[in-house]
Amino acid sequence: MSAVEFAVEKVKLLDEARARQLLAWLQAHEPATTAVPPAGARAMLGFARRFRAQPRTTSDWMTELRAGEHD
């Protein structure tokens, strides 16, 4: 019998009040899961999609960058 199966069998034997206490204790001791935003280059993924919906080829945006160099 696995540890999980053993724990389930033990919980089945508890009365309602003790089961609620155990559940409250388990919830209080759960690790906090916070969503950490990606850092670095991965944070930029999808950022350009907000301004330009259609994807562009590398040659297209390189042409635009080089046009700015000539101005």
Radius of gyration for the alpha carbons in the chain, expressed in angstroms and rounded: 28
pTM for this model (two decimals): 0.41
For residue 1, name the pLDDT band (cuts at 50, 70, 90): confident
For residue 70, name the pLDDT band (cuts at 50, 70, 90): confident
Q: Report how far residue 20's alpha carbon sits from residue 16's, in angstroms, rounded to the nearest whole number.
A: 6
DSSP the chain: --HHHHHHHHHHTS-HHHHHHHHHHHHHTSPP--PPPP-GGGGGTTTGGGT--S---HHHHHHHHHHHHH-
Residue 71, pLDDT score: 61
Average pLDDT over residues 29-46: 77
